[in-house]
Structure 1
């Protein structure tokens, strides 16, 4: 059991690291290749959706492919994951995310760690993060029940869409938010703006969990 937990934690750390490396790295590449902000955002969006499909497909059988403390929290609330394991998952995700930022910086000859400078604050940003995380959890919870084999494609597609229909470009992940506070590049966020982003994300996740508990109740009874 201990060895199995270690493998699951390794999967969570590795998956979150690769996700963040993709978000930060593709953001740097896109920003260097074009001065068109819309085109740069597109260059940041597509790789993020693609890597999510890959990571959930290959690591889902190992750890469930959370890569996101909001997903882990809901999983623990639903008693699908013990609280002790959930806490360790979150630690692995945060450390993996920080490692992903460092790797992306080193690949692009950026100082390994530097604080984010991009302001992301205000009601529109917080509402966007709550909506983005609500939608992400809604996608995961309903798809896991009805079309589990489609979860990788659905999550990747949802994030691609949410990049564009939310004002915040859909961080929707506390671990990724913390990691992006350590990059001054295209995908960064000011550290001062992180706490309320995370509050909004967790609020959206809890709202989705509560909604799905009601929405899926007839199916559970059946």
Structure 2
């Protein structure tokens, strides 16, 4: 138990250090070019996800996301007794990762974001982003388990660009990013709607995966 929780918390911490830290670096180097800054935030996040899933999957399962843990528990692939501890260490690790990024770039550790991210388009985007993430994880697990790290990293990198919200797709990430007034931030007042949309999208992804990737579903040839 201790090793699993440590791995899950440490992995989520490193993920947020990459998300927030690359956002700060990208904004500084982009010279006001938002597209270039987003690209500089996207590539490290996708790459770090692939690395972290590869190294932490044998330890904790490498969820790094309360929505993913919930879906796996609903599928019966994850013990319900671990859901609350996993969620707690994911959130704590995410906050610690954001604070570490602030320290690395010599910013105040304690911050609240003022970046507005709200509206129906943003909420739909978060539902779609999390739906696709869960579908990617469960679909790859059913067909190509060895490819999960790379497919998740690629999916998130793509979702940064095709969603209006830049794809948080993770309640723990959302909590941590509201505590960072940087390129990656979100106002605390906007976070609850994001988290609700993420959970709805995750449950929809779980439902779709049951239809598409159930054990008795046979691959279609040709």
Q: Distance in 1 between matches of 2:217 and 2:52?
A: 33
Q: Which residue of 1 aligns with 2:2?
A: 6
* Alpha-carbon offset, residue 214 of structure 1: 1.5
Q: Which residue of 2 aligns with 1:184?
A: 181
Task: Tell me if 1:120 matches 2:117.
Answer: yes
Q: Which residue of 2 aligns with 1:205?
A: 202
Q: Which residue of 1 aligns with 2:167?
A: 170
Compute the TM-score of the two structures, normalised by the length of structure 1: 0.96
Q: Which residue of 1 aligns with 2:216?
A: 220
Q: Distance in 2 between matches of 1:159 and 1:215?
A: 21
Q: Which residue of 2 aligns with 1:24?
A: 20
Q: Distance in 1 between matches of 2:66 and 2:60?
A: 13
Equivalenced residue count is: 217
Task: Tell me if 1:156 matches 2:153.
Answer: yes
Q: Distance in 1 between matches of 2:49 and 2:14?
A: 9
Q: Distance in 1 between matches of 2:81 and 2:191?
A: 25
Q: Distance in 2 between matches of 1:38 and 1:216?
A: 36
Q: Which residue of 2 aligns with 1:42?
A: 39
Deviations 1:33-57 (A, max 9, x none): 1111000000000000000010000
Q: Distance in 2 between matches of 1:113 and 1:97?
A: 14
Q: Which residue of 1 aligns with 2:103?
A: 106
Q: Distance in 2 between matches of 1:166 and 1:214?
A: 25
Unmatched 5+ stretches in structure 2: none
* Alpha-carbon offset, residue 220 of structure 1: 3.0
Deviations 1:55-77 (A, max 9, x none): 00000111110000000000111
Query: In angstroms, what is the RMSD of aligned CA positions?
Result: 0.9
Deviates more, 1:166-175 or 1:79-88: 79-88
